[in-house]
Amino acid sequence: MLEAMTNQSHDAAAGNSPLPRNATGRAAGWSRRRRLRACPDCDLVVALPPLRPHERADCPRCGHVLVRRHRLPVQRGLAYAVTALIFLAMAVLFPFIGFDVRGIGNTITLTETGSALARYGEPLVAAAVLLGIVILPLAWIAGFIILHTRILRAAVGPPDEFLARALSHIGPWIMADVFLVALLVSLTKISGMATLDIGPAFWAYCAFVLVMVKAQLALDTDWLWFRLAGEPPAPPGIRPGTNAREQDMTGCHVCGLINPVDASGRGHCARCGDRVHTRAPRSLQNTLALLLLAILLYIPANTLPITHTTRFGGEQGSTIIGGVVGFVQAGDIPIAIVIFAASVLVPIGKMLALAWLCLWARRPDLRDPLAGARMYRLVDFIGRWSMVDVFVVAILVALVRAESLMSIVPGPAALAFAAMVITSMIAAMRFDPRLLWETPSPAQRSGHD
């Protein structure tokens, strides 16, 4: 690992260094500015060192990974993407899971995990499920294959820049890996009720998830945009080692290029065309509003039934906590821990962390920027895993259909919980972590003193 160069000394109290902590002699001797980047997490302007395959450049101030270089990015990425497409096609076309109780059973396909919710009056939840596990992964793979094939043939053009932007926006909403965890939870729950028949599509989807994760990790955004549109020269007079905002500059969150902005702190990227801002407009207001909505949604999500189970003529509603208790009583402690962590601890922890980050952004005297950056990256990573419970409901509703013997239908908490997860994810995306590194104003300094 190499840390990005700043070509200028930093404030030692802030923990910054003009050279990488683990720099090789090749990188330590780096003096000519090759490419400049503004860290998206702390806004520090840094110069990227030359990187070999399997090396990466981290921000020397906050530790954010600026660039991760791969070996054979086109060939390797295409191999993973094409393989993922094949496995996804198999997962959609073949039988997924079968269920049998006393000779009465049901077999479903992968897409029925979403369509079944629509049949029971939850079209919005159904759309969220299908988007996360099939539609968006398919769109991402198709865009990836088209884009890298055109790069391989040296036939890139403006439409490819649109595809590259789309990949960056679609990626965070792909939840195939979360769905796989939900599958394992669901099978553990159902195995105590009935006989299961694992179809070929199940194994194909497991393989798809593994290869899909590898394909996403293989995407080298820095290299990709260099191949698509080159590297425009850095704005004249820009100084590495200081914040971009202080120089009326900002980094593009899509392609990484540093761009000048107007008096309002806004502009458009000269390379990819995406809108850029020195700080996300109304970041704290939007984050707090969405956070409040997520908190309000969390109440019905945990107090109302998330499923209604009919078994041998009797109906019983189950809340999220009730489901956790059921796993504990059945002796499935690890599954209970997974559900409790994903559906209770993660949402509460994420909302508390976001509230604390917003407080830190407003109170420079309280903030710890490096701890805040690490907290934000953790919040951004774990938030999507709360969808586990929504996916479990989708699988159970689609699969458990055994006439009057047993059936499961979604409860009102399913929509509230899905909306809470999505709202909290958007709230985290709207928070601008660069606010944590803002220099306090003179008034704030005097008030602190």
Asked if 187 and 102 sit in the same domain, the reply is yes
Instruction: Identify whether 439 is part of a domain.
Output: no
Instruction: Identify whether 77 is part of a domain.
Output: yes
Please report, as a single letter, which amino acid is at residue 436: L
% residues pLDDT > 90 (the chain) = 39
How many structural domains are present in the chain? Answer: 3
Instruction: Identify whether 448 is part of a domain.
Output: no
Question: Per residue in 201-232, pLDDT tens?
Answer: 999 999 999 999 999 998 888 888 988 888 88
Asked if 111 and 25 sit in the same domain, the reply is no
Instruction: Identify whether 447 is part of a domain.
Output: no
Query: Residue 405 has what pLDDT?
Result: 64
Q: Which two structure tokens, joined as six digits, stand for 286?
A: 């939007």
Average pLDDT estimate for 181-186? 88
Q: How far does the chain reach from its first CA to its final CA, in angstroms?
A: 40
Asked if 430 and 409 sit in the same domain, the reply is yes
* SS (HEC) of the chain: CEECECCCCCCHHHCCCCCCCCCCHHHHCCCCCCCEEECCCCCEEEECCCCCCCCEEECCCCCCEEEECCCCHHHHHHHHHHHHHHHHHHHHHCCCEEEEECCEEEEECCCHHHHHHHHCCCHHHHHHHHHHHHHHHHHHHHHHHHHHHHHHCCCCCHHHHHHHHHHHHHHHHCCHHHHHHHHHHHHHHHHCCCEEEECHHHHHHHHHHHHHHHHHHHCCHHHHHHHHHCCCCCCCCCCCCCECHHHCEEECCCCCCEEECCCCCEEECCCCCCEEECCCCCHHHHHHHHHHHHHHHHHHHHHCCCEEEEECCEEEEECHHHHHHHHHHCCCHHHHHHHHHHHHHHHHHHHHHHHHHHHHHHCCCCCCHHHHHHHHHHHHHHHHHHHHHHHHHHHHHHHCEECCCEEEEECCHHHHHHHHHHHHHHHHHHCCHHHHHCCCCHHHHHHHC
Query: Residue 28 has what pLDDT?
Result: 37
Residues 6+ apart with CB under 8 A from 136: 170, 173, 174
Asked if 49 and 117 sit in the same domain, the reply is no
Asked if 289 and 359 sit in the same domain, the reply is yes
Q: How confident is the model at residue 404 (pLDDT cuts 50, 70, 90)?
A: low
Asked if 294 and 423 sit in the same domain, the reply is yes
Question: Per residue in 69-125, pLDDT tens?
Answer: 888 888 899 999 999 999 999 999 999 988 777 767 778 899 998 888 998 888 999
pLDDT of 127 higher than 90: yes
Average pLDDT estimate for 416-432? 93
Asked if 183 and 252 sit in the same domain, the reply is no
Question: Per residue in 8-23, pLDDT tens?
Answer: 333 333 333 333 333 3
What domain range includes position 307? 283-434
pLDDT of 350 higher than 50: yes
Average pLDDT estimate for 264-270? 88
Asked if 416 and 337 sit in the same domain, the reply is yes
Average pLDDT of the chain is 83
Instruction: Identify whether 332 is part of a domain.
Output: yes
Q: Which two structure tokens, joined as six digits, stand for 315?
A: 């109906």
pLDDT of 272 higher than 90: no
Q: How confident is the model at residue 51 (pLDDT cuts 50, 70, 90)?
A: confident
Asked if 310 and 253 sit in the same domain, the reply is no
Instruction: Identify whether 440 is part of a domain.
Output: no
Q: Are 308 and 322 in contact (CB under 8 A)?
A: no
Instruction: Identify whether 38 is part of a domain.
Output: yes
Query: Residue 107 has what pLDDT?
Result: 85
Query: Residue 300 has what pLDDT?
Result: 94
Average pLDDT estimate for 431-448? 65
How would you class 435 by CB atoms within 10 Å of its CB: exposed for 0-12, middle for 13-18, buried for 19 or more? buried
% residues pLDDT > 70 (the chain) = 87
Question: Per residue in 226-266, pLDDT tens?
Answer: 888 888 888 888 889 889 999 999 999 888 899 999 888 88
**Cα distances (angstroms) measured from residue 186 to each of 42, 105, 232:** 41, 16, 51
Residue where one domain finishes, among candidates 270, 294, 326: 270
Q: How confident is the model at residue 156 (pLDDT cuts 50, 70, 90)?
A: confident
